Structure 1
Amino acid sequence: AVKVVDDEGFIYPEYAVCGFMWAAQQRMRVTNSSYFVDPWLFTCADEPGQAVAHEAVRRAVQHATRAGVFNVAAVGNESTDLANPVRDVRSPDNAPAPGPRPVDDDCDVLPAELPGVTAVSAVGSQRLRSSYSSYGSDVVDVTGPGGDRAQLPVGSSSGCVLSTIPDGYGYACGTSMAAPHATGVAALLASTYPEAGPEELATLLADSADPQPDDGHGFYGRGLVDALDAVTG
């Protein structure tokens, strides 16, 4: 694990950059990023004050990828079409009162929308898109179990995923739960194919995923990650 979050819960660009650089230095095979880079939900490459942050994180991810690191990231819980972003209502998230602002295709959720990153959406127990999960054609690569309180499994009082929380375990829903599932499958692939680089691991992960019905909105990417098929298929 690489700690990139501060004591107030923020992950600023320099923290993410250091995390990716350190992962590259340590020759990690796989990383998981269950976060977006603060303080902007969408960091805009054409906006003063954001362009430098966007470029810095992009370069760090590129460096890690070239060093052989396969990077996976959550797309976020805004139920937003990332292929056609129009409005950001929660940035900057370190301000007393974040205000809505227009965004466009020059604005990305970092690191999920960067080249070389496998972007993961979330589904519930019925394998349908979780109500909160962001999505987007040509943005989402695969989907993973993130839970959804609207999709209750039989005999369960929670549609969420049993997760680690401060001081123990609890049920939580989010793409932050989905992305680690995909990362875990990627790690299995990395152990099964020790010579595979990031691009090949991305292909193997996508090819082994269970296709979901084509929704036309990029809810699921290539499908739901499948650990068994990944290592036996």
Structure 2
Amino acid sequence: MTEAPGTLVLPYVVVTGDDLVHTWWAELAVRANGGTVVSSYPQAGVVVAYSPRDGFAPAVRKVPGITAVGATRTAKIPVEWFAPRKDVRYTGPGSPSSGQVPPEGTAWDVPALGVDEAHEVTTGSKRVTVGVLDTGVDDTHPDLAAAFDRRDSVSCLSGWADRGAGAWRPTLDGHGTHVAGTIAAARDGKGVVGIAPGVKLAAVKLAELDDTETAESMVCGFVWAADHGFSVTNNSYRAIPWRYHCSNQVDQAAIKLAVGRAVAYAQRRNVLVVASAGNAGIDLDQRSSDAESPADSTPAPRPIDTSCIRLPHELPGVIGTGAVDEKLLKASFSNYSASRVTVGAPGARVWSTWPGGLYRSASGTSMSSPHAAGVAALIASTHRYLRGDRLGRALTAQATPLPCPDLYDPNGDGKPDATCTPSPTGNTFYGAGLPNAAAAVR
């Protein structure tokens, strides 16, 4: 860090050509205009930087060869944010007393996806790595330790790859640990069982609290996943400061471009990107307003349209996952869409791992996404030639179709709460349907 401790700065993504020469030139432009380079990703043509200067972004945008510059916050943060984290310890909430953990393999999501039948064939292969891009993972949890790969785990919290010991572990939120258990919790007769307990699990820490992931952390995370040979990444979050990123706003357009470049790079390296579809309970094809942005300062209602997207869920090629409940009906909170929901998976009252060797039940499309990621990992384990977009097509091809309900009435008042309609890929509630672990290994 070049600024004095306590200095307030704004982080930025600077987008340029995706090669060493362009990123070197962008680094020079950052420094020449009062900024500090945090990290460079020539694979995606993105430089992460910060500056205390209010005129930093307009000045760098004028430099030839710079495609876009965007602030990734609306309020300045202390420069210490970019320093390495030390003494990483979990101080977040414990598992709430939300009931007794069901005996291993008896929770409702296991039979719904045909997990027991799949495990008669395989529990997954160690040559398949699933990356949990989230709030960190407690690799000391008894149900996760056997699958965890410390070598390929990292913290991207501040936009650079912090490989310090335990940097990937959670500090304030057990969300990533819960996600990890759904994917790969051990089949050992205790606790819960994951969809693919035989695969390798890597943590890429993007945030300390759920739904506070930033552009710089995502760029770092997707490049890391690509360069370390991940087969699948799970992304159960939404970004700050903007919940939706609109191309007609200069900062949001730069963020959208930077993260899009990083995701595209990962996809070119055959990483399947699976993401949660969101918990607003809305038709994503009809959205018109956003009252939650900017999430890092003072949110204010603003008009949006369908070109304003959730990151990374609505980027091309991403597997968007909606949530279903125990009746295999769309969970009331789950977003839906004709084109932005690829599959529907268990996301209501899902039991999984929690930091400190604990377990808890949680609901959300955050819980449905790792079910889809786990099934994709089983497909990758049994079909070596299926990678990237081919793996995604196999995931949808083996899904069990779920029909539109005659009347979708979760409130029980006799009136439809949402309308399910056919779509080119299935229908607006469930996409191609429910991922099928048993079919995945055949």
What TM-score results when the alignment is normalised by the length of structure 1? 0.90
Query: CA RMSD for the aligned pairs?
Result: 1.4
Q: 2 CA distance for matches of 1:202 and 1:24?
A: 16
Q: 2 CA distance for matches of 1:92 and 1:17?
A: 20
Matched, 1:182 2:392: no
- Per the TM alignment, residue 8 of structure 1 is displaced from its structure 2 partner at its CA by 8.4
Map 1:148-187; keep pairs closer than 5 Å.
160-167=349-356, 168-187=358-377
- Per the TM alignment, residue 143 of structure 1 is displaced from its structure 2 partner at its CA by 0.8
1:132 is matched with 333
Which of structures 1 and 2 has the bigger CA Rg?
A: 2
Gaps of 5+ in 2: 1-202, 405-419, 422-426
Q: 2 CA distance for matches of 1:58 and 1:222?
A: 24
Matched, 1:205 2:395: yes
The answer on whether the counterparts of 2:330 and 2:429 sit within 8 Å (CA) in structure 1 is yes
Matched, 1:29 2:231: yes
2:213 is matched with 11
Q: 1 CA distance for matches of 2:327 and 2:397?
A: 21
Give the letter aligned to residue 311 of structure 2: L
Q: 2 CA distance for matches of 1:125 and 1:11?
A: 30
Give the letter aligned to residue 72 of structure 1: V
Q: 2 CA distance for matches of 1:25 and 1:189?
A: 21
The answer on whether the counterparts of 1:39 and 1:91 sit within 8 Å (CA) in structure 2 is yes
Of 255, 279, 283, the residue aligned with 1:77 is 279
Q: 1 CA distance for matches of 2:315 and 2:429?
A: 18
How many residues of Structure 1 are paired with residues of Structure 2 in the alignment?
A: 219
Matched, 1:225 2:427: no
SS across alignment from 1:2: strand
More moved, 37-46 vs 182-191: 37-46
1:112 is matched with 313
1:43 is matched with 245
SS across alignment from 1:120: strand
Q: 2 CA distance for matches of 1:52 and 1:116?
A: 20
SS across alignment from 2:292: coil
Gaps of 5+ in 1: 148-159
- Per the TM alignment, residue 7 of structure 1 is displaced from its structure 2 partner at its CA by 6.2
SS across alignment from 1:43: coil
Give the letter aligned to residue 123 of structure 1: V
Map 1:47-62; keep pairs closer than 5 Å.
47-62=249-264
Give the letter aligned to residue 161 of structure 1: V
Matched, 1:146 2:336: no
Of 262, 266, 270, the residue aligned with 1:68 is 270
Higher RCO, 1 vs 2 (CA within 8 Å, ≥6 residues apart):
1
The answer on whether the counterparts of 1:140 and 1:218 sit within 8 Å (CA) in structure 2 is yes
The answer on whether the counterparts of 1:61 and 1:116 sit within 8 Å (CA) in structure 2 is no
Q: Cα distance 1:103–1:11, how it changes in 2: closer, same or farther (>3 A)?
A: same
Give the letter aligned to residue 336 of structure 2: Y
List structure 1 segments (4+ residues) > 4 angstroms apart after TM superposition.
Answer: none
1:210-233 Cα shifts (integer Å, max 9, x gaps): 10114216110000111111112x
Q: Cα distance 1:199–1:102, how it changes in 2: closer, same or farther (>3 A)?
A: same
SS across alignment from 1:50: helix
SS across alignment from 1:186: helix
Q: 2 CA distance for matches of 1:170 and 1:6?
A: 19
Give the letter aligned to residue 133 of structure 1: S
1:65-94 Cα shifts (integer Å, max 9, x gaps): 001111100011111211222111211111
1:86-145 Cα shifts (integer Å, max 9, x gaps): 1112111112x4122111022001111100211000000001100101111111000110
- Per the TM alignment, residue 9 of structure 1 is displaced from its structure 2 partner at its CA by 6.3
What TM-score results when the alignment is normalised by the length of structure 2? 0.48
Q: 2 CA distance for matches of 1:131 and 1:18?
A: 33
Q: Cα distance 1:71–1:8, how it changes in 2: closer, same or farther (>3 A)?
A: closer
Q: 1 CA distance for matches of 2:441 and 2:247?
A: 38
More moved, 37-46 vs 202-211: 37-46
Q: Cα distance 1:218–1:7, how it changes in 2: closer, same or farther (>3 A)?
A: closer
SS across alignment from 2:273: strand
